[in-house]
A and B are shown apart, each in its own frame.
Chain A
Amino acid sequence: MADTLSDDVLRRAAERAQSKRFDVRTMPGFTTIAVICFIALYAPLFPMAFYSFNAGDSIAVWQGFSWRWYVSAWSNDLVKDVTVRSLIVAACASGIATVLAVLAALGTTRTQPFRGQTLIYVLINQPLMVPEIVTGVALLVFFAMIKVATGYTGLIYLIAAHAAFCIPFAYLPIRARLEGMDKTLEAAASDLYATPIQAFRRITLPLMTPGIVAGAMLAFVISLDDVVITELVKAAGQDTLPTYMLGQLRRAITPEINAISTALLAITVVLLTTIFFLTSKKE
């Protein structure tokens, strides 16, 4: 080491560094790869959005601007039908999942470790670990048995399945919120004569509300996006928007699919941007 620390070596290294200042945080090439990644994440989405405005039938040859495919998708009764179904399923499933997740989060956070706590974590997060396709075929088999036994084939199966895989998505932000919450706040409330119920209603619940809202929205989006489990569980005529689109993609593709996709993309971006600015302004 003594050699590399000699004045000579130091002088030469210093001269070389003159041209390019050393920054502790940068790694060579990392910024380039990062920029490529950001571009790559968005690049494929632009042609898709672009051709949704194509006047012609092609999704590769530009034939002029038109709202034609948006109008066609909007006036398509089937599209309306599957969209409404998607929204109903997502609303019901995320509602159920959020309520169950709030209760579970209250039971598993801010307590000293207890027997079975890890087991509860594993069971609640199980849908994140088991591949969707496995859960999907298992539900297909299980619900087929119930359908044979009861003869009922309604939307309940789909809602039940969606609610189940939405539970961990609702649970995680609520739990994170509760864990980040200062435990002494409840102690302070009870010190100031609040009964356990008053402490929950006046302190815990208002403070965990952002977590509940985040969890519910996450669950809603997850349910709205689901393809695999829905595809396997749905009965005939129970298509949701994603499974309808999957079906369309197997046929000849028209820019109508582009229009639907672009509209969904736009809604996602608008929603996320709103949430982004709402949450960042608070801090």
Chain B
Amino acid sequence: MANTQMSQTTTGKSAGGFTEAEAERRRVRVNWLLSLPALVWLAFAASGPLLIMVVYSFLTPGDYVGVVWDFSTDAWFQVLFTRDIFDETIVTMADAHLSIFWRSISLSLMTTATTLVFGFPTAYFIATRSPRSRPMWLFLVTIPFWTNLLIRTFAIMELIRNEGLINTVLLKAGLIDTPIQMLFTDGATLVGMTYVYLPLMVLPLYASMERLDFRLVEAGYDLYASRLQVLRRVILPLVKPGVIAGSILVFIPSLGAYVTPRLLGGGRNMMMGNFIEMQFGAGRNWPLGAALSITLLFIVMIALIFYVRNVGKEGSGHG
């Protein structure tokens, strides 16, 4: 363009002494410098150690604790398969491991589904209250959310124990002769996880419903849609980001749950979190624990990629 020459003479010696490109570079450098302390800290005490786990998954377990620095793919083999004790050439699927994976994934999916079934109407209910009372209803959801997860799990545990409130009441009423075994079952874990993770579903759902323009719902009714059609064709597509965000927020901690399955599911109904912890405790097989951790992380990453594919773009579009 005709201005190029002038642009060079002007910007080259303007009073501030910086060009646009320089200012841009400086700005990016400052932004990185400000973020750096947090990133270094996280690299040291969160992300970095994950890489060590990759290394450990290829080592040999130590006799009592830790690892021996001998390369081995045994841990990864053990994730899915098991060798016969007497004849190492006989290889079978590791049924115990598979049942733990299956329980983890199915319980997590069921937890996500039940929290969605209960959470969606709850979030909708809050979003349709008057603006004045909405914070109060939301507050009622946030109190359990901020209450220690251990306390909430303990509260459920006390209810469903053999000597717990439900069984005591049923026995006293003469409805049953012997206590119903509720604690230490998969059902108990499901109820417990649904209970503790319900707020994680309601809050993001509410966030997207609050922004829902109810004139669109009115427009739906105006164009002869029934209630169900309005829900399915207007509301659901609009709050889809909230549904997916809530599902991810529930699914990920469910999959890695440790406290709830340990207290409510007991030792025999382990989920992946408990199984991993066991390898670093009583199991004394750090490489297997490392391999299992990476497997769990891998499943989580798949869920997150699904999330980013579906709503990530819309979510970050505001910046």
A–B direct touch, CB within 8 Å, in complex? yes
When distances are taken between beta carbons in the complex, the residues of chain B under 8 Å from A164 are 41-42, 44-46
Pick the residue among A31, A45, A96, A107 that contacts B31 (CB under 8 A): A107
Given contacts A41-B141, A48-B155, A60-B163, contact A133 B148 (CB under 8 A): no
Question: How far is the CB of B56 from the nearest CB of chain A, in Å?
Answer: 6
CA distance A100 to B37 in the complex (A): 6
Residues of B contacting A246 in the complex (Cβ-Cβ under 8 angstroms) = 150, 259, 263
- Within B219-246, the residues touching A (CB, 8 Å) are 221, 224, 227, 231
**How many chain B residues touch A (Cβ–Cβ < 8 Å)?**
93
A144 touches B146 (CB 8 A): no
Of B4-12, B92-100, B116-124, the one touching chain A: B116-124
Q: CB-nearest residue of chain A relative to B126? A: A34
Question: Is A28 in contact with B227, judged by CB distance below 8 angstroms?
Answer: yes
B39's closest neighbor in chain A, by CB? A123
Q: Is B139 an interface residue (CB 8 A)?
A: yes
B300 partner, pick from A30, A103, A129, beta carbons under 8 A? A129
Asked whether B293 lies within 8 Å of A134 as measured between CB atoms, the reply is yes
Q: Which residues of B contact A101 (CB under 8 A)?
A: 38
> Does B122 contact A228, Cβ atoms closer than 8 Å?
no
Nearest B residue to A233, CB-CB:
B45
Interface residues of B in 267-300 (CB under 8 A from A): 272-273, 276-277, 280, 286, 289-290, 293, 296-297, 300
Interface size (A, Cβ < 8 Å)?
95
Give per-residue flags for B125-169: 1 if the beta carbon is below 8 A from chain A beta carbons, else 0. Answer: 110100000010001111110111111101111110101110110
Residue ranges of B at the interface with A (Cβ–Cβ < 8 Å): 27-28, 30-35, 37-39, 41-50, 52-53, 56, 66, 117-119, 121-122, 124-126, 128, 135, 139-144, 146-152, 154-159, 161, 163-165, 167-168, 195, 198-199, 202, 214, 217-218, 221, 224, 227, 231, 252-253, 255-256, 258-259, 263, 272-273, 276-277, 280, 286, 289-290, 293, 296-297, 300, 304, 316, 319
